[in-house]
Structure formats: C-alpha cells, structure tokens
Chains A and B, each alone.
Chain A
Amino acid sequence: MEKYECTMCEYTYDPAKGDPGRGIPPGTSFDDLPHSWTCPKCNAGKNMFTLVEE
C-alpha cells in the first residue's frame, strides 16, 4: 500500500503501521483513513498529504 507524506512536517503515513495511538489499525490504507484524521505530528488535515513516489 502507498505511503503518504505530510507536506507541512514531513511525517510519513505508512499503512503497514497505521496510527494505533489514535485507533487506526495497521493495514489501513491512506484512502480509508477517516476524513477527520489529521497528521499525528502537526495536525494538518488529510488534504495536506501527498503520495510518496517510491
């Protein structure tokens, strides 16, 4: 699954890890994150993330 990077603080969302601290289990794709999900580091919204080209 594809990783996404926060354009503000460069935090990378890795679907393999999810965001367990806020109830997002490993294996959750970026698209499947709720709209209310925000960057764990800087709180930027989902729309501030861009796809990481591997």
Chain B
Amino acid sequence: MNPVEIVPGIQWVGVLDTQLRVFDVIMEAKHGTTYNSYLVRGRDKVALIDASKAAFAETYLETLRPAIDPAAIDYMVCNHLEPDHSGALADVLDVASKAQVVVTKPGRALLRAILNRDVKPTIAAEGDRIDLGGRTLRFISAPFLHWPDTMFTYLEEDQILFSGDFLGAHYCDPRLFNDLIPNYDEAFQYYFQVIMRPFKEYVRQALDKIASLPIKVVCPVHGPVLRHDIGRYVDLYRQWSAEPPASKKKRVLVFYVSSYGNTERMAHAIGRGICDAGADAKVVDLTKVDVRAMLDDIEAAEGIAVGTCTINGDALEHAWSLLSSLTTIKLKDKLGATFGAFGWSGEGPLMLAERMKGLRFRVPEEPMRVQLVPSDADLKACEEYGKRLVAAL
C-alpha cells in the first residue's frame, strides 16, 4: 500500500496482511491484520517508529521508499521487539545506514537476540525525549504490554500516542482510520483478551500514566488508527482490565473428568468439604463445558482442583486441555490441587500437579488419589481434603 498521511509530516508506512487468519499459531485473526509503522519528520531529524514482520520486509520497504530514502532516517524507534514488528528490522538497518535504534533497557537484550549483530542502541528511559526539530518524541515506559521491553512514544506537539500493541487489534482495512471503517469492537475486544488480559495490572498502570496526556490520535501497531472517540476505546480497556469484584465467600472450582464415575464421586465429596469449610464450590464435568467460556470464573476463583482418572499412564486430554487454556489469566499464587481415581497406577493426578506447579499455581497438598471405587472412608477423606484446601486459601 502507499504511505498514508496521519497529519502533515507524519505518515503510516505499514503493511496490510489481508490473508492472515491465525496469528502466532494460537490466536484468531478473522479479519487479517496490519503491521503499522510510522514515519515522523521533524525540521532536522526523521524517526521511524516500529517496523514489520520478516516475511513482509520487502513489501514494507516498498511502502517506505516513496515516503523517504531510508538512508535519511535518523532514528528507528522500537516500542517493543516482538518479531511481528522487529522481524524486518535487519532489512531496514541495512538500508537505513545512519539510523540509531531506540529501545528500552530490557529491549537491548532482545535486540541483540533478534539481530544477532552488534548494534549499540540508544536506551530510552521513562520521560526521555528526542528532539526532531519542532517535534519531540517522549518515551513512556509501559512494561509488559505485552512484552517486558514495551514503551509508548508520545509526540508532544501533535499529541499523538504511538502505543505499540496497546489499543490495537487484528483488523485489516485499507481505510485505516477508525472513523472510516465499520465497527470492529469484536476484534478489538478479542485482541485485548488474548494479548493484554494476562497483564491487567500493567494495563491499569499504563492507563493511569496516559490519563493526563492530551491525545488527538492513537497509532497502534495493529489495526485501525484511532482519531475519533478515543475515550471510548480507553474506557473499554479500563473496564476490561478492572479486577473482578471480590466476592464475600472464597471460591474453589472443582473440575473433573471421570470414566466410571469414581473420580466424579471424589469431585463431589471434595466440593462438599469445601462448602462445609465455609467456601463456595462449583463442581464441573470437563466433558460438558467449553473451558474458554469459563476463564472469567477461573480468574475470579481463589483456587481450582482438577480431577482425572488415569488411562494408559496419563491424565485425560480434557484435564490437560483445561491447564493449557489458562495462559491468558494470572495464575500466580492461585491455589491448585489435583485428585483422581485409578485402576492400578494412578499417575494422572501426579502429572497434573507438576504441571500446575509449572504454571505457578500454589499446590500445598499432595494429590488425592483413590484406587477404583471410593469407599465411605475414602469419600470422607475427600471431604477432609476439600476442607484442607479451604484452610490453605
């Protein structure tokens, strides 16, 4: 695509990826995406903000060249170094021979690992400025949105925020500006859920930081440029990043997958124990739910217990699938527990417990295991187990 003027002297020079349907192997991109890059001209100096993906390096340079001779670029600002924006960096630097790369301190280590060449970047710390001549770039640290090295770049005179992935979306429309394209709220929300959600507290910090900045345009690296009704998008982020309201009672979700009903009986006994100890329990059959629809519940719960029977020396796929679905929510220090009935070996719950520790659940109790049919004494032990979980919340 040709360069697009954002305001005089500032151009979009990105790439449209119309064909993309899956991003980073695991995320939907029903509407394709864009890799937005921006060229900012001051009176004396020129800065390029964020680049593109390696596979599009040539297309990207074709868009850039009509806007500027790359050799005239003074600064290559990388708001974060994820490969979809830094993959083409080596190609850019090959032709932008005098460009000084600008990254945050954590970005320096990532830059080295991406380029595998010796580049001495300028390190942008919170509040640092680069004067382009009548245009001033100010750097705002915004760690973990969603990479550790993330910053925003704020163009003071024009009141434009180059926000990286923040306030972005996988949505490809050559009309580029949010007031010129149809409502894309669904893509905007999905993007938040899969990219920003794991970092809610950092989202809130960043929202607080930019709250006092006058912003006329938000230029993210994916999807539409926001120049209309910016407050609405910021408010949505505010709403989605809020902590779930604390419930009066603590809550443990008890998930299970059971082939003969034995693990199921254990699940209900553990649930009873949890309730007897004064907490809330919700017992869920993993074969009957879409776990992805329960992420809010899981996030709000103080703990989760996962039960599985053991077949051929492994936990069942449903249990693994549950634990593989939690990457977008914060698990650190959430209580985890595992249990299950088994025929003769019973590795399933042990394997799940190790996996939960790896995910940074707190797993204070050994897995609760019963061979074949739980006796009354076994069920009583399961109830006690549920009570101990509540005590450990």
Q: Give the B-binding residues of A (Cβ under 8 A).
A: 7-10, 42-44, 48
Contacts and interface: CB of A to CB of B under 8 A. Distances in A.
Contacts of B149: 8
Interface of B: 105-106, 108-109, 143-144, 148-149, 360
A28 B108 CA distance: 28
11 contacts: A7-B105, A7-B106, A7-B109, A8-B109, A8-B148, A8-B149, A9-B106, A9-B144, A9-B148, A10-B106, A42-B148
Q: Which of A8, A10, A43, A44 has the most CB of B within 10 A?
A: A8
Contact of A9 (B108, B143, B360): B143
A48 B109 contact: yes
A43 B358 CA distance: 11
Smallest CB-CB A-B distances: 3 pairs = A8-B148, A7-B109, A8-B106
| Interface of chain B: mostly helix, strand, loop or mixed | loop
Contacts of B108: 7
Contacts of A42: 144, 148
B113 to A, nearest CB: 10
B116 to A, nearest CB: 17
Nearest to A7: B109
Contacts of A43: 360
A29 to B, nearest CB: 23
A54 to B, nearest CB: 18
B83 to A, nearest CB: 16
Nearest to A22: B360
Contacts of B360: 43
B82 to A, nearest CB: 13
Nearest to B148: A8
A8 B144 CA distance: 10
A2 to B, nearest CB: 19
Contacts of A8: 106, 109, 148-149
Given A10-B105, A10-B106, A42-B144, 14 more contacts: A7-B105, A7-B106, A7-B108, A7-B109, A8-B106, A8-B109, A8-B148, A9-B106, A9-B144, A9-B148, A42-B148, A43-B360, A44-B148, A48-B109
